[in-house]
Structure 1
Amino acid sequence: MATRSLESIVVHARAQHCSPPVVDRGQQVVRFEGTSYVMVGIYFARSHALGSSQNGHRELYYILRPLSRNGEGEPVG
């Protein structure tokens, strides 16, 4: 069985479901579903709500990577 490093795991989360970003040791950190993540990117995408594609509304999403501070690839929650 192959193991995956935390560097290869990314989460795409709607910004409104995350805590406001804070800077910690030079990184943008947010909480999503009770876990801390480093923000590695952002993008806007169409909402999936009925009829929203016609009005041009876009949702802000964060691209997140699990936060690790112990040097062993274990997430720090």
Structure 2
Amino acid sequence: MSGGKEEQEISVLGRLCCVDLMVIFMGFVTTVYGIVSSNWEKALIGAVVTAGALALWQICKRWCRSSSSECMEKREE
């Protein structure tokens, strides 16, 4: 029973990871498109989206690492 739950958690994390990478990629593409077309508003929006997505990705990565170690310690007790 717990094996199914672990697989389910992995698939959810896998989907979230793909969504994060897609947002970063789309922000990068929007930035490049804005620069190429000389539309600085789009370039700025793309840069903000890319920077924000990267910042959130790093914060979540650190939080998940500390959170998972705490969870493992609680399971051992």
TM-score (norm 2): 0.24
Structure richer in strand, relative to its length: 1
Q: Which has the larger radius of gyration?
A: 2
Structure richer in helix, relative to its length: 2
TM-score (norm 1): 0.24
